[in-house]
Amino acid sequence: MFFDNIFRKMLLPSSVVIAVLINGCEPPQQINQSSAQQLAPQAGIPKAKGGLRAPSTETAYALEYFEPTPENPEYGTLMVNDHAFLVPEGVPRPSIQSVYLLSHWEIKQGESVLDIGTGSGVQSIFAAEISDHIVATDISAKAVETAKLNVQRFGLQDKIDVRSPGDLFAPVKPDERFDVILFNIDYPSNQYTQFWWEIHERFFAQVRQHLKPNGRIYYQIGYIDNIPRVKAMADKNGLRIMRLRMDERLIFRRAPIVFLLQSEADVREQLRRKDIAYERQIEADKRRTDR
Ligand X SMILES: C[S@@+](CC[C@H](N)C(=O)[O-])C[C@H]1O[C@@H](n2cnc3c(N)ncnc32)[C@H](O)[C@@H]1O
Q: How far is it, in rounded angstroms, from Cα 225 to Cα 239?
A: 20
Give the DSSP letter of residue 226: G
Residue 136, amino acid: A
Residue 253, amino acid: R
Smallest gap from Cβ 275 to ligand X, in A, equals 37
- Residue 138 or residue 266: which is nearer to ligand X going by CB? 138
Residues 199-258 that bind ligand X (CB under 6 A): 199
Q: Applying CB under 6 A, which of residues 139, 224, 244, 260 lies at the interface with ligand X?
A: 139
Residue 105, amino acid: W
- Residue 134 or residue 266: which is nearer to ligand X going by CB? 134
Q: Applying CB under 6 A, which of residues 184, 189, 262, 263 lies at the interface with ligand X?
A: 184
Choose the binding region for ligand X from 24-32, 44-52, 54-62, 184-192 (rule: CB under 6 A): 184-192
The torsion region of residue 24 among left (phi > 0), alpha (psi -120 to 50) and beta comes to left
Burial class (CB in 10 A: 0-12, 13-18, 19+), 102: buried
All residues at 6 or more sequence positions from 103 whose CB lies less than 8 Å from its CB, including other chains: 28, 30, 32, 34, 59, 60, 61
Choose the binding region for ligand X from 35-43, 180-188, 211-219, 273-281 (rule: CB under 6 A): 180-188
Judged by DSSP in three states, 110 sits in coil
Choose the binding region for ligand X from 11-19, 183-191, 208-216, 253-261 (rule: CB under 6 A): 183-191
Smallest gap from Cβ 7 to ligand X, in A, equals 13
What is the distance between the terminal CA atoms of the chain, rounded to a whole angstrom? 68
Q: Does 167 bind ligand X (CB under 6 A)?
A: yes
Q: Does 84 bind ligand X (CB under 6 A)?
A: no
Choose the binding region for ligand X from 14-22, 30-38, 134-142, 278-286 (rule: CB under 6 A): 134-142
Smallest gap from Cβ 128 to ligand X, in A, equals 14
Edge to edge, what strands does the sheet with 178-183 contain? 160-162, 133-137, 112-116, 178-183, 211-220, 257-263, 239-246
Smallest gap from Cβ 118 to ligand X, in A, equals 6
Residues 88-127 that bind ligand X (CB under 6 A): 92, 94, 98, 101, 116-119, 122-123
Choose the binding region for ligand X from 36-44, 131-139, 249-257, 280-288 (rule: CB under 6 A): 131-139
Burial class (CB in 10 A: 0-12, 13-18, 19+), 144: buried
Q: Applying CB under 6 A, which of residues 37, 69, 81, 140 lies at the interface with ligand X?
A: 140
All residues at 6 or more sequence positions from 70 whose CB lies less than 8 Å from its CB, including other chains: none
Choose the binding region for ligand X from 29-37, 38-46, 181-189, 204-212 (rule: CB under 6 A): 181-189
Q: How far is it, in rounded angstroms, from Cα 86 to Cα 45?
A: 9
- Residue 95 or residue 112: which is nearer to ligand X going by CB? 95
Positions that interact with ligand X (CB under 6 A): 92, 94, 98, 101, 116-119, 122-123, 137-140, 143, 167-168, 184-186, 199
